Chain A
Amino acid sequence: MSKSLRSPLGRARGLGSAKDGTHHWWAQRVTAIALIPLSLWFVASIVRLAGAPLIDLQAWAASPVVAVLLLILVVATFQHARLGMQVVVEDYVHHEGVKVAALLAINGASLLFGAISAFAVLKLAFGG
C-alpha cells in the first residue's frame, strides 16, 4: 500500500489513468442483458409480421408500449454494437492513425444510424 504511487483518492475511485475504469466493460454487459428480452421480442414480432402490409406494421408501432420498446431496442443495439466494434478495432488495428480513424468512423456511424433508426421509429409511431 505504502509503495503504491496512487493516491488514496485515486485508489478509492478506481478509475486508473484512463479515467474510465470498468465503464466500457460494464456498459457492454448492461446493454447485453437489456438486449436478451428486447431482441427476442423484436424477432418474434417480425416473424408474426412477416409479409404483413405496411398498415399492420404502422398499427403495431403506433402502440405506446411497442414504440418505447423499439426506441430502447435501437439505443441498446447501436450502443452494444459500437462498444463491440471498438474492442475489435483496438485488438486488430495496430497502426495508430488508422485505429483512431476507424474508431471515429465507428462512433460516427453508430450515432448517425442510431439516430436515423430512432427517428424512423418515432415517425412510424406518430403516423407521420
Chain B
Amino acid sequence: MAAESKSSAKSHPRPLSPHLQVYRPQYTSVLSITHRATGVALAVGTLMLACWLVAAATGERAFAGVNAFLGSGFGRVILFGWTVAFFYHLGNGIRHLFWDAGYGFDLPTAEKSGWLVIAFTIAATILSWALGLAVLGGR
C-alpha cells in the first residue's frame, strides 16, 4: 500500500499549497516576516557584540579601534539599524508571548498591538539615540 502510493506520487506530482507570492502582503503578515528578518539581523549583530566585548577585554588600542568604527558614519548606520531591529524584535516578541499565553489573537487586537509595536519601536529608538547622543555630547 505504502509502495503503491509512493509510485503514484512519482508519476502524478501531489498538489502543493500556493506559494507565498500569490498572496497579497497584509499588514499582519509583513509584521510577522519582519520579526524573522530582525531576528536574523540581530543574530548577525551578536558577532558585533562579541567583537566589542573582546576589544574591551583586550585593551586600549583594540577598544579605540572598535569605537572608531562604531563612531564612524558607517558604524552609526549599522548601530542605528541594530537599535531599530532590537526594539522591534523586543516589542513584537512580547506580542508573541501574549499570543502564546492565549491573549490578543483576534484580528482587531492583533492589528492594534501591531501598531503599538511600531510606535514603541520608533519611540524607543528615538529616545535611546537622543539620550546616547546627549551623553556623548556631555563628555
Binding site for B on A (CB under 8 A): 29, 32-33, 35-36, 39-40, 43-44, 46-52, 54, 57-58, 61, 74, 77-78, 81, 84-85, 88, 113, 116-117, 119-121, 123-124, 128
What's the Cα separation between A13 and B43 when bound, in Å?
Answer: 33
Closest A residue to B130 by CB, please name it.
A47
Q: B53–A120 contact, CB under 8 A?
A: yes
What's the least CB distance linking A63 to chain B, in Å?
A: 15
Q: B131–A47 contact, CB under 8 A?
A: yes
What's the Cα separation between A57 and B46 when bound, in Å?
Answer: 19
Q: Is the interface of B mostly helix, strand, loop or mixed?
A: helix
Encode B126-138 as 1/0 by CB contact (under 8 A) with A: 0010011101100
Q: B86–A39 contact, CB under 8 A?
A: yes
Q: Which residues of B contact A78 (CB under 8 A)?
A: 46
A78-B46, A81-B46, A85-B40 given; A43·B128 CB < 8 A? yes
Q: Which residues of A contact B31 (CB under 8 A)?
A: none
Q: B39–A29 contact, CB under 8 A?
A: no
Closest B residue to A112 by CB, please name it.
B50
Which of B40, B50, B96, B139 sits near A120, CB closer than 8 Å?
Answer: B50
A29-B100, A51-B139, A54-B60 given; A113·B132 CB < 8 A? no
What's the least CB distance linking A91 to chain B, in Å?
A: 9
Interface residues on B, range: 20 to 34
Q: A88–B128 contact, CB under 8 A?
A: no
Q: B40–A54 contact, CB under 8 A?
A: no
What's the Cα separation between A51 and B66 when bound, in Å?
Answer: 12
Identify which of residues 79-132 in chain B touch chain A, using a CB-to-CB cut-off of 8 Å.
83, 86, 90, 93-94, 96-97, 100, 128, 131-132
Q: A77–B40 contact, CB under 8 A?
A: no
Q: Is the interface of A mostly helix, strand, loop or mixed?
A: helix
A81-B42, A113-B46 given; A124·B97 CB < 8 A? no
Q: Which residues of B contact A58 (CB under 8 A)?
A: 56
What's the least CB distance linking A36 to chain B, in Å?
A: 7
Q: A47–B135 contact, CB under 8 A?
A: yes
A39-B86, A47-B135 given; A88·B36 CB < 8 A? yes
Which of A44, A113, A121 sits near B47, CB closer than 8 Å?
Answer: A113
Closest B residue to A61 by CB, please name it.
B56
What's the Cα separation between A78 and B53 when bound, in Å?
Answer: 14
A36-B94, A120-B53, A124-B56 given; A84·B86 CB < 8 A? no
Q: B97–A33 contact, CB under 8 A?
A: yes
Q: Which residues of A contact B90 (CB under 8 A)?
A: 35-36, 39-40
